[in-house]
Chains A and B, each alone.
Chain A
């Protein structure tokens, strides 16, 4: 079977609840994998596709919040939808602060959960695209020569060609050529776009 286009993970220690969630998600065409404990989830080999995690707050052993912390530490960036049997406000706040997408209190409507899942998957998809784009940017940046990187840093800092030539002890024509090369290699159409890229690459920071 080919890799699914998205995955939903479920961690719940109640077998019946777990199976019913799996059934519900499968019925709307989602790909689901269920786990009885946080440890099982951490140990699992997950496909590299957009995903989200539906997580019961109260788990035997490692709790839902503990798992959230472990995932952050392990840089597992899967959006989490918490479900809980109690309207526990402090816990909700803690979970949301730590980046949970949604906090559903039982009983919730099926649609609420499915909507939350769709949103979470969407969000993960966007994040992943973003991340992919960033990766692309790095590749392009890596293709620049050291001299070109030097020039780019000065260009995005707002210096004129003449100033850059002075700074580097070279001719203005050479700088112009470098600049052309940089715009070409980075795939930037305008200076504004290049600045944005530089920002994403961490070459400049907003002061």
Chain B
């Protein structure tokens, strides 16, 4: 049996802090014994060797003397010390000493385990906090906008970059869904992609779209959206990484504008070289119109109304033809943004031949066409392709006038190996040397005294924009051939 008047335990702090002291008294609880005061009284037992320390001391909590038993907890008291006292003179008995020793040992082990657990938990907590802080810092400091939204699209959080991009504070964002700030034109596509993401049909999606900022201005963004699957305590949410690409878009647009401008300039320049031919093309139907008008007067004089009416019908055809030519030329001269349409490449070629026909006659060029009926429609910009065609034909005509010998121009169209369209413009001019072949498509490379050197460079970029290729070869016999391909419409669509 263990009968004590008091027990005092002092536990050292493992990392050098103030020790923890505890006192348990057997007597009435109203005694206000402070553990520190008792600790001071017990000091000789706390530091000394328990076997040599005196076993008696004045009772710190009552009268008379008291017998003390002390036990180190842990090795070299690294855990603490346990003191027990009793007013009985025979304290501690052998049994009591044994029991106290066992208790002290158990306490030491328990404390030791507890302390280790504490340390581990603290370390884990610290690691967690550090990780959280690190991720928070990533979130806060990321140059890319990061936004979290619940599956219905309502914002949960948005980092500083995101807030800055949009001009909304985070708490304002929480009142909105991402569709609210997405430009109308992109909402449907955006919703559809989100639905597919939520339904697990895709891992993530990316899109370029426009946001409307809080101040009403529109910006271009690239978004990468993924679904973060939920855990027990956090439901699943959408994670968007957002880049502001307004500047890039603006630059692209400026580049496109500049290219368009340049294409337009060269187109007009090419037409400028053909003014005489174009004038002739227009004069032809106008001349016919005048003839028919004269005829009409003649028939009226002869009171032949049927023939007069006939003449007027012919005049209308003539006027129609003149106006069609003018329309065709105006379309080439006009500066309009590219517009892709389904078109018959052969018809496009015929229209350009119509414009350049006179140019060929003037230069005594014999034209042969081999237009295959078997070419698929292409999805392309008519004006741009006409520009390519016109440029290649004018180059061919010019090349042939610089060499003696027959002037034969062959224009052919057909299906190419990959089911696309291939058009070939073959001349019988002086041909191309290897140096020219290499540099032909470089901007500002020209062999003509008045050339700008932009024609073929622009042609190539036009063909490339349409997903095709443009190249030149020297013919085995004489002259050069320019080939260009355009992919089938299905590939593009």
Chain A residues at the B interface, C-beta cutoff of 8 Å: 14, 16-17, 19-21, 23-29, 58, 60, 85-86, 106-107, 110-111
Q: Specify which chain A residues have a CB less than 8 angstroms from the CB of B286 in the assembled complex.
A: 107
The reply to whether A20 and B289 contact each other, CB–CB distance below 8 Å, is yes
Distance in angstroms between the alpha carbons of A150 and B317 in the assembled complex:
69
Give me 10 other A-B pairs in contact (C-beta within 8 A), A20-B291, A25-B295, A26-B295 excluded.
Answer: A16-B285, A16-B318, A17-B287, A20-B289, A20-B318, A23-B310, A24-B291, A58-B361, A58-B362, A110-B294
Q: 5 pairs across A/B with beta carbons < 8 Å?
A: A20-B290, A23-B314, A29-B302, A107-B283, A110-B291
Out of B289, B298, B362, which one reaches A28, CB within 8 Å? B298
Q: Specify which chain A residues have a CB less than 8 angstroms from the CB of B299 in the assembled complex.
A: 27
Q: Specify which chain B residues have a CB less than 8 angstroms from the CB of A85 in the assembled complex.
A: 280, 283-284, 358
Interface check B174, CB cutoff 8 A:
no
Q: What are the interface flags for B295-336 relative to A under an 8 Å C-beta threshold, 1 for contact and 0 otherwise?
A: 111110010100100110010011001000000000000000
Q: Specify which chain A residues have a CB less than 8 angstroms from the CB of B311 in the assembled complex.
A: 23, 27
Q: Specify which chain A residues have a CB less than 8 angstroms from the CB of B284 in the assembled complex.
A: 14, 16-17, 85
Interface check B292, CB cutoff 8 A:
yes
Distance in angstroms between the alpha carbons of A123 and B70 in the assembled complex:
157
Q: Specify which chain B residues have a CB less than 8 angstroms from the CB of A25 in the assembled complex.
A: 295
Interface check B176, CB cutoff 8 A:
no
Interface check B463, CB cutoff 8 A:
no
Minimum CB–CB distance from B300 to chain A (whole Å) comes to: 9
Q: By CB atoms of chain B within 10 A, which of A17, A24, A25 has the most?
A: A24
The reply to whether A27 and B295 contact each other, CB–CB distance below 8 Å, is yes
Minimum CB–CB distance from A28 to chain B (whole Å) comes to: 5
Distance in angstroms between the alpha carbons of A12 and B139 in the assembled complex:
80
Distance in angstroms between the alpha carbons of A25 and B307 in the assembled complex:
12
Minimum CB–CB distance from A24 to chain B (whole Å) comes to: 4
Minimum CB–CB distance from B217 to chain A (whole Å) comes to: 57
Distance in angstroms between the alpha carbons of A79 and B275 in the assembled complex:
33
Interface check B38, CB cutoff 8 A:
no
Q: By CB atoms of chain B within 10 A, which of A16, A20, A106, A107 has the most?
A: A20
Q: Specify which chain A residues have a CB less than 8 angstroms from the CB of B283 in the assembled complex.
A: 85, 106-107
Distance in angstroms between the alpha carbons of A26 and B288 in the assembled complex:
14
Distance in angstroms between the alpha carbons of A21 and B289 in the assembled complex:
10
Q: Specify which chain A residues have a CB less than 8 angstroms from the CB of B291 in the assembled complex.
A: 17, 20-21, 23-24, 110
The reply to whether A20 and B287 contact each other, CB–CB distance below 8 Å, is yes
Distance in angstroms between the alpha carbons of A19 and B290 in the assembled complex:
12
Q: Specify the chain B residue showing the minimal Cβ separation from A114.
A: B294
Q: Specify which chain A residues have a CB less than 8 angstroms from the CB of B297 in the assembled complex.
A: 27
Q: Specify the chain A residue showing the minimal Cβ separation from B279.
A: A85
The reply to whether B294 and A27 contact each other, CB–CB distance below 8 Å, is yes
Minimum CB–CB distance from B280 to chain A (whole Å) comes to: 5
Out of B292, B298, B304, B361, which one reaches A20, CB within 8 Å? B292
The reply to whether A106 and B302 contact each other, CB–CB distance below 8 Å, is no
The reply to whether B294 and A107 contact each other, CB–CB distance below 8 Å, is no
Q: Specify which chain B residues have a CB less than 8 angstroms from the CB of A60 in the assembled complex.
A: 361
Distance in angstroms between the alpha carbons of A192 and B5 in the assembled complex:
186
Minimum CB–CB distance from A189 to chain B (whole Å) comes to: 45
Q: Specify the chain B residue showing the minimal Cβ separation from A60.
A: B361
Given A14-B284, A107-B283, A107-B287, A19–B314 Cβ distance below 8 Å? Answer: yes
Minimum CB–CB distance from A84 to chain B (whole Å) comes to: 10
Q: Specify which chain B residues have a CB less than 8 angstroms from the CB of A111 in the assembled complex.
A: 294
Q: Specify which chain A residues have a CB less than 8 angstroms from the CB of B321 in the assembled complex.
A: 16
Distance in angstroms between the alpha carbons of A143 and B297 in the assembled complex:
54
Distance in angstroms between the alpha carbons of A86 and B359 in the assembled complex:
13
Q: Specify which chain B residues have a CB less than 8 angstroms from the CB of A28 in the assembled complex.
A: 298
The reply to whether B289 and A27 contact each other, CB–CB distance below 8 Å, is no
Minimum CB–CB distance from B101 to chain A (whole Å) comes to: 128
Distance in angstroms between the alpha carbons of A163 and B258 in the assembled complex:
101
Given A20-B289, A107-B283, A27–B298 Cβ distance below 8 Å? Answer: yes
Distance in angstroms between the alpha carbons of A85 and B299 in the assembled complex:
27
The reply to whether B280 and A20 contact each other, CB–CB distance below 8 Å, is no
Minimum CB–CB distance from A159 to chain B (whole Å) comes to: 60
The reply to whether A24 and B294 contact each other, CB–CB distance below 8 Å, is yes
Q: Specify which chain A residues have a CB less than 8 angstroms from the CB of B289 in the assembled complex.
A: 20
Q: By CB atoms of chain A within 10 A, which of B289, B291, B297 has the most?
A: B291
Q: Specify the chain B residue showing the minimal Cβ separation from A59.
A: B361
Distance in angstroms between the alpha carbons of A106 and B293 in the assembled complex:
16
The reply to whether B296 and A16 contact each other, CB–CB distance below 8 Å, is no
Q: Specify which chain B residues have a CB less than 8 angstroms from the CB of A86 in the assembled complex.
A: 276, 280
Q: Specify which chain A residues have a CB less than 8 angstroms from the CB of B292 in the assembled complex.
A: 20, 23-24
Q: Specify the chain A residue showing the minimal Cβ separation from B311.
A: A23
The reply to whether A27 and B302 contact each other, CB–CB distance below 8 Å, is yes
Given A16-B317, A16-B318, A16-B321, A24–B287 Cβ distance below 8 Å? Answer: no
Distance in angstroms between the alpha carbons of A8 and B465 in the assembled complex:
55
Minimum CB–CB distance from A68 to chain B (whole Å) comes to: 17
Minimum CB–CB distance from B274 to chain A (whole Å) comes to: 14
The reply to whether A107 and B290 contact each other, CB–CB distance below 8 Å, is yes
Q: Specify which chain B residues have a CB less than 8 angstroms from the CB of A19 in the assembled complex.
A: 288, 314
The reply to whether A20 and B288 contact each other, CB–CB distance below 8 Å, is yes
Q: Specify which chain A residues have a CB less than 8 angstroms from the CB of B293 in the assembled complex.
A: 110
Minimum CB–CB distance from B363 to chain A (whole Å) comes to: 11
Given A16-B318, A19-B314, A27-B307, A106–B295 Cβ distance below 8 Å? Answer: no
Q: Specify which chain B residues have a CB less than 8 angstroms from the CB of A23 in the assembled complex.
A: 291-292, 295, 307, 310-311, 314
Q: Which of B344-384 contact A (CB under 8 A)?
A: 358, 361-362
